[in-house]
Amino acid sequence: MATTSVHIEVIESIWDKANHFSAFFVLYMLLSFAYKKMALHVKVLWLLAFGIQIEIVQSFIGRDASLLDIFADSIGIAIGVGVLKIILPHLPKIHRS
């Protein structure tokens, strides 16, 4: 949906920000489990760059680019970092290495 030029009114509400938050929370978690040795700042920078890139593409296809979307992406990443720091010590060693 990020690159469609179709205007969908229902999605462009507060739920849009919740979708951005959720997507980047999940993306951070998946990236962390897939690339365990990648530094935290590298993961965060990659995901932020991805979020910014989505907004740039949207501006070229006739949709509005939104700084609030990037902010929601950032909050999702930050919460993902926090959640992972809390749950990681409780996971079996196979997930921590």
What string of pLDDT tens digits covers the 97 residues of the chain?
555 556 555 455 677 889 999 999 999 999 999 998 999 999 999 999 999 999 999 888 877 888 999 999 999 999 999 999 999 888 777 655 5
pTM: 0.80
The residue extents of the domains of the chain are 33-96
Q: How far apart are CA 40 and CA 28, in angstroms?
A: 10
pLDDT at 92: 78
